[in-house]
A and B are shown apart, each in its own frame.
Chain A
Amino acid sequence: MLLSKNRVIRRRAVVGLLVAASLTLLTMSYREGSTGVVGSMQRGVVELTAPFASVAHRVTRPFVDGWHWTTGLVNARNQTAELKTLRTKLGLATARNTQLAAQLATAQALAKWGEQNPSFTRVSGSVIVQYHPLLSSTVMIGIGSDQGVAKNDAVVAPSSDGGGLVGRVSEVTGSTATVQLLLDPTTGVTAQVLGEQGALGTIVAATGTPGELNMLQVPNAVRVRKNDTVVTTGSGGRLNSLYPDGLAIGRVSQATPVDGSPNMQIQVTPFVDFTNLDGVIVLETHH
């Protein structure tokens, strides 16, 4: 019983001594920081253990490398999956960005055309249905009579050259309108070559060259040169034209006299790219 008590006392004394030592060390450590006795104790311990730590580090290095290689492999697999997802997202974002940039460019071109031609009352819209223009000579636009569009209104589209005539409205509903393009072989527009006296004629779709226009009934005597600009005249003999005058149509790409014929053969490249119509402007000319 006595020895057991001694054992208990010794145990408590040892623990109490260790607690007191810990608190003393803590207090000294706070007071002295890394200087004095505490600092030299720490440096001594580091010097004592450094060689062992170095050896342990070196011995375990291959295992550590193996571990890192394994975990790196797992991480690489996860990262590959993440990268695939990110690439898909990036592709979608890029496509959306491109679409928005195209819409912005169209809107800017429409606004610019409006600023350059302030005399027209106009309404802007987008092409919502377009077949291949060489197979179908009409497009549908997303504005109709509710927005002020009327049958036979002239339709223009902005382009890098400032914009050009697209055609005219052939059918109209409340919210849509069908536009008959200049490429329609059944339509014609009275036009003139800018700067050339008497260079009047009719623009029709070129039969042998898809996407191009021909200018008919221009006498051989008139001087027409390549790159001359062709615009609407606004009149068609006895009758007024459906189109207002001065709307750009295209540029002369070829002008050659024809033997045995009183008229020249003139080919006109339209300013408008009919294969890529997007934003259009309807000129409210028939109200």
Chain B
Amino acid sequence: MAGLDYLKALVCVFVLVVVQVSVTPQFYPLGGGPDLVAILVVALALWRGLELAAVAGFAGGFLLDALLYQHLGMTSLAYLACAWAVTTFSGRGEAGAGMLEPAPPRPLPWVIAGALLVEIGLVAVEVLLGYGYDIGYLVWHQIVPSILQTTLLALILLPLLRRLFRPARMRANVSTATAV
């Protein structure tokens, strides 16, 4: 089951990256662009946990950096931070033994927060690496349009991803733990 999840996640990453770099730039009405990989990473973080979300985020970031000829690893770091933050702050992180994992929260606010974190993280990494940017331009021509478009596309994409990664309110593996 876990292997199938990884396979589905990687296929999703590939498809979404291709769509993100080849299709959505043609629709940009306001500048910026939707972050489809962020939607997937947040969805996986909420429904499948940190591990799968981190793998998907790393792969998505790697592909994006490679396709856009950016410094490899930069976007991966941002998605990893997004996956970690969403699982930690939504309470989907590390359930203790014998504890029921809480029901997954509504994903849309987390998508917005996650996409914002990725945008800010990327800007922060680029600033740390010495790129000079006008903050006002970045906010109004990159971050805000990107968040708005990501939110709109999340309304379409989340139900599809939910069918692929149906969230299960899983009980932690108490029986096995007890047996041991």
Interface 9-mer from A37-45, A171-179, A186-194: A37-45
Interface string of A33-56 (1 = CB under 8 A from B): 010001001101110010011101
Chain B residues with Cβ below 8 Å from A10 are 51
Proximity bits, A88-126, B CB within 8 Å = 1, else 0 = 000000000000000000000000000000000000000
Chain B 126-180 residues near chain A, CB threshold 8 A: 172-173, 176-177, 180
State whether A18 and B96 are in contact (beta carbons under 8 Å apart), knowing that A46-B66, A49-B18, A56-B19 are contacts in the complex: no
Q: Is the CB of B96 within 8 A of A4?
A: yes
Instruction: Tell me how many residues of B have a C-beta within 8 Å of chain A.
Output: 43
**Contact in complex: B26, A60 (CB < 8 Å):** yes
Chain B residue at minimal CB-CB distance from A38: B72
Spot the interface stretch: B36-44, B53-61, B111-119: B53-61
**In whole Å, how far is A41's beta carbon from the nearest beta carbon of chain B?**
6
B residues near A46, Cβ cutoff 8 Å: 66-67
Q: How many A-B residue pairs have CB under 8 A?
A: 117
The answer, yes or no, to whether A77 is at the interface (CB within 8 Å) is no
- Which of B57, B66, B76, B83 gathers the greatest number of chain A CB atoms within 10 Å? B66
List of B residues within 8 angstroms of A3 by Cβ: 97, 173, 176-177, 180
| A41-B66, A49-B17 as given contacts; A19 in contact with B26, CB under 8 Å | no
Cβ 8 A contact of A15, one of B54, B62, B73: B54
Contact A26 B71 (CB under 8 A): yes
In the complex, A1 has a CB within 8 A of chain B: yes
Considering the complex, which residues of chain B in the window 49-89 have a beta carbon less than 8 Å from any beta carbon of chain A?
A: 49-51, 54-55, 57-58, 61-63, 65-67, 69, 71-74, 76-77, 80, 83-84
- Given contacts A2-B180, A15-B50, whether A25 and B55 have CB atoms under 8 Å apart is no
Q: Is the CB of A67 within 8 A of B71?
A: no
In the complex, how many residues of chain A place their beta carbon closer than 8 angstroms to a beta carbon of chain B? 41
Given A4-B97, A25-B73, A29-B71, are A53 and B18 also a contact pair (CB < 8 Å)? yes
Of A29, A34, A54, A71, which one neighbours B73 at CB under 8 angstroms? Answer: A29
Q: Does B29 contact A (CB under 8 A)?
A: yes
User: How far apart sit A5 and B173, CA to CA, in the bound complex (Å)?
Assistant: 11
B23 at interface, CB cutoff 8 A: yes
Q: Which residue of B lies closest to A15 (CB)?
A: B54
Whether the Cβ atoms of B72 and A26 lie closer than 8 Å is yes
CA distance A14 to B51 in the complex (A): 7
Residues of B within 8 A of A8 (CB): 94
* B58 surroundings in chain A (CB, below 8 A): 18, 21-22
Is residue A11 contacting chain B, with contact meaning CB distance below 8 A?
yes
B18 & A67 in contact (Cβ 8 Å cutoff): no
A259 to B14, CA, bound (A): 112
Chain B residues in 8 Å Cβ range of A5: 97
CB-based contact A45/B66 at 8 Å:
yes
Q: Does B12 count as interface, using CB distance less than 8 angstroms?
A: no
Q: Which of A14, A30, A68 contacts B55 (CB 8 A)?
A: A14
Kindly name the residue among A26, A46, A64 whose own CB sees the greatest number of chain B CB atoms within 10 A: A26
A28 touches B69 (CB 8 A): no
A18 touches B80 (CB 8 A): yes
Chain B 91-130 interface mask (CB, 8 Å, partner A; 1/0): 0001111100000000000000000000000000000000
Q: Which residues of A contact B97 (CB under 8 A)?
A: 1, 3-5
In the assembled complex, how far is the CB of residue A48 from the closest CB belonging to chain B, in whole angstroms?
A: 9
A21–B57 Cα distance when bound, in Å, is 12
Q: Is A23 an interface residue (CB 8 A)?
A: yes
B10 within 8 A of A: no
The answer to whether A45 and B172 touch across the interface, beta carbons within 8 angstroms, is: no
B13 CB to nearest chain A CB (Å)? 11
Query: Which residues does chain B contribute within 8 Å of A226, judged by CB atoms?
Result: none
Q: Which residues of A contact B (CB under 8 A)?
A: 1-5, 7-8, 10-11, 14-15, 18-19, 21-30, 34, 38, 41-42, 44-46, 49, 52-54, 56-57, 60, 64, 67-68, 71
Additional 8 contacts, C-beta under 8 A, given A18-B57, A24-B73, A30-B71: A1-B97, A1-B98, A11-B94, A21-B76, A22-B76, A26-B71, A26-B73, A49-B67
